[in-house]
């Protein structure tokens, strides 16, 4: 994220600075550019639009930031802003296809907290929660224009708001979120969580839990019991009857771990969706889709500490860093595509690389193979997995299948080196023509 590294010479560096500091360059336009690229990949597909929010904390550069346009984030009132992208996945494989929409905002310094603003009484358009509706509506328009046949909008527990169930963004749209509120259902006064726990078990499946150093979680196999129910969610008391219907009908899916080890926190998901779920097969499909929501966390990892390190930018203008962050999402997306395409020969390399870049990579390919048969690229030429293998080798990976597959940092290093090589390769094919 260093402009000095991005720019080849002084004039190019100045061009970057002028572009990023130009008030006419709006985040909404940069977002539309990302959406246009995404549209090229979604025609005829049912896609998942996964939204989430991440804080971009600029504390490391606080002393250089200009006061103009600077906002704050977090409970520590650190300088920074929030970014809320919508990552589009293929519903069959979970492969990341693009970014359909990006929303960026910051909180004013000294602004009152939720209690001081009487947050619950604010109109939806004035709440930060509006990001879920706004992202769904803009993503739906983008993806329908690209020819997508169906869009499932996925959010975490923060997205469980009644207004979203009522204001579905389109005829071909569906919603899938993790339940946060123990809502009233039906006319009996019963609550959602109790009602769901009382349903018969439709089936079970095995879930592999990986260890996580950030949590007291060990590796194990968890057996999950699945329950489903169709429910009528009652309108919250805070919403007026003149604005919202008395109830909305959705399907609820519960996946609860059976007999977890002593001392372990059991895995427990409660999901709500507009998809019709009447049996174990549909329930398992919905659970799998929600599990792929983790991929937007991987996108944030690549954007921040996993490679691009956007929070270390030395630009002095917060709005300029906002623009740079939206541009950087394209690079973070490419790293994510490489991670999920490294073992799949079915995806063409054109998903992440231009035809010129592939021509360059094809010429580089023989030099990237090792001396032994085990260090030869095993993938179909010009498949995405073939390209990832080469990029990983440039990033320092051994090429041996017995070792861990290349991660975000390795692939990021490989991309950096490849782009330097591609720049030189392109210059070598540019011929100056003298005309007297």
Give 160-198 pLDDT, tens digit per residue.
Answer: 999 999 988 888 999 999 999 999 998 777 899 999 999
Contact 315, 3 (CB under 8 A): yes
Give 296-314 pLDDT, tens digit per residue.
Answer: 999 999 999 877 889 988 8
pLDDT band at 4 (very low <50, low <70, confident <90, very high): low
For the residues 125-147, what does the mean pLDDT come to? Answer: 93
Ranges 84-88, 265-269, 427-431: which has the least confidence: 427-431
Domain ranges across the chain: 3-328, 342-428
- Give the pLDDT of residue 213: 63
Average pLDDT over all residues of the chain: 89
pLDDT band at 207 (very low <50, low <70, confident <90, very high): confident
Q: According to the 3-state scheme, what is the secondary structure of the chain?
A: CCHHHHCCCHHHHHHHHHHHCCCCCCHHHHHHHHHHHHHCCCCCCEEEEEECCEEEECHHHCCCCCCCCCCEECCCCEEEEEEEEEEEEECCCCCEEEEEEEEEECECCCCCCHHHHCHHHCCHHHCCCHHHHHHHHHHHHHHHHCCCCEEEEEECHHHCCHHHHHCCCCCCEEEEEECCCCCEECCCCCEHHHHHHCCCCCEEEEEEECCECCCCECCEEEEEEEEEEEEEEECCCCCCCCCCCCEEEEEEEEEEECCCCCCCCCCEEEEEECCCCCCHHHHHHHHHHHHCCHHHHHHHHHHCCCCCCHHHCCCCCHHHHHHHHHHHHHHHHHHHHHHHHCCCCCCEHHHCCCHHHHHHHHHHHHHHCCCCHHHCCCCCCCEHHHHHHHHHHHCCCCCCCCCCCCCHHHHHHHHHHHHHHHHHHHHHCCCCCCCC
Which one of 3.90.350.10, 3.40.50.720, 3.40.640.10, 3.10.20.30 gives the CATH number of domain 3-328?
A: 3.90.350.10
Same fold, 3-328 and 342-428: no
For the residues 29-44, what does the mean pLDDT come to? Answer: 95
pTM of the model: 0.91
Domain topology for 342-428: Transferase Inhibitor Protein From Tn5; Chain A, domain2 (1.10.740)
- Give the pLDDT of residue 286: 97
């Amino acid at each position: 994220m260093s402009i000095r590294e991005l720019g080849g010479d002084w004039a190019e560096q100045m061009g970057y600075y002028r572009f990023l500091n130009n008030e006419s360059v709006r985040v909404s336009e940069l977002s539309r550019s990302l959406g246009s690229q995404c549209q090229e990949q979604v025609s005829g597909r049912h896609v998942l639009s996964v939204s989430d929010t991440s804080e971009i904390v600029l504390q490391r550069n606080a002393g250089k930031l200009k006061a103009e346009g600077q906002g704050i984030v977090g409970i520590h009132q650190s300088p920074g802003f929030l970014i809320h992208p919508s990552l589009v996945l293929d519903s069959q494989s979970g492969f990341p296809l693009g970014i359909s929409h990006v929303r960026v905002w910051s909180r004013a310094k000294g602004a009152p907290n939720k209690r001081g603003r009487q947050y619950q009484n604010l109109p939806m358009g004035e709440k930060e929660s509006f990001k879920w509706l706004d992202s769904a509506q803009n993503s739906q328009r983008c993806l329908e224009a690209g020819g997508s046949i169906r869009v499932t909008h996925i959010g975490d527990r923060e997205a469980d708001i009644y207004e979203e169930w009522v204001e579905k963004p389109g005829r071909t749209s569906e919603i899938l979120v993790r339940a946060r509120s123990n809502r009233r259902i039906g006319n009996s006064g019963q609550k959602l969580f109790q009602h769901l726990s009382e349903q018969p078990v439709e089936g079970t499946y095995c879930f592999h839990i990986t260890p996580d150093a950030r949590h007291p979680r060990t590796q194990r196999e968890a057996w999950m019991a699945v329950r489903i129910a169709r429910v009528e969610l009652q309108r919250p008391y805070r919403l007026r009857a003149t604005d919202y219907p008395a109830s909305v009908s959705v399907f609820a899916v519960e996946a609860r771990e059976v007999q977890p080890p002593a001392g372990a926190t059991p895995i427990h998901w409660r999901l709500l969706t507009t998809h019709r779920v009447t049996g174990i097969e549909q329930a398992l499909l919905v659970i799998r889709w929600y599990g792929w929501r983790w991929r937007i966390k991987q996108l944030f990892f690549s954007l921040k500490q996993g490679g691009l390190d956007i929070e270390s930018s030395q630009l002095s203008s917060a709005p300029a860093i906002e623009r740079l962050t939206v541009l950087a999402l394209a690079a973070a997306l490419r790293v994510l595509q490489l991670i999920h395409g490294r073992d799949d020969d079915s995806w063409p390399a054109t998903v992440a690389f231009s035809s010129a870049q592939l021509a360059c990579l094809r010429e580089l390919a023989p030099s990237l193979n090792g001396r032994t048969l085990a260090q030869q690229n095993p993938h179909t030429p010009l498949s995405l997995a073939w390209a990832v293998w080469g990029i990983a080798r440039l990033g320092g990976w051994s090429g041996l299948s017995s070792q861990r597959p290349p991660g975000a940092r390795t692939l990021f290093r490989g991309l950096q080196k490849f782009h330097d090589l591609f720049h030189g390769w392109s210059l070598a094919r540019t011929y100056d023509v003298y005309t007297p």
